[in-house]
Amino acid sequence: MNAAGLIFVLSGVSAGLGMPHFQTLSAIGTVSQGELDSTRKGVAAALATLKRTPAEKIEAMVAKYDQELTTYLDKFNSAWGVDPIGGFRAAQIMEGYVTSIMNKSGIRG
């Protein structure tokens, strides 16, 4: 993964979280609306920050954390269409992980 790839990936996760089956998780009470909204906002905020960050700064971060980022992306991609709660939880973990490594790398909104 590279800087453009990370932005592309988070764009996909953000778009995926907008799919109706994730809203259904809230409607049936599996997750609260607040939890769903918070995750959506967290991914969107990380994405917005990355879009404003110079590519070389993201490249350094991705080079250090590529394996972990790819692992969480793979979990989200494999689950979101067939296991909405699994996909949602993977998105939450990825959002937290991305935010954490952005902070460690000095990338802040």
Sign of CA dihedral 101, 70, 90, 57: positive
Residue 95's contacts (CB-CB under 8 Å, 6 or more residues apart) are 13, 39, 42, 43, 46
- Residue 51 half-sphere exposure toward CB, CA atoms < 13 A: 10
pLDDT per residue, tens digit, the chain (109 aa), is 888 989 998 999 999 999 998 999 999 999 999 999 999 999 999 999 999 999 999 999 999 898 888 888 888 888 877 888 999 999 999 899 999 999 999 998 7
DSSP 25: H
What spatial distance separates the first Cα and last Cα of the chain, rounded to whole Å? 22
The pTM score is 0.89
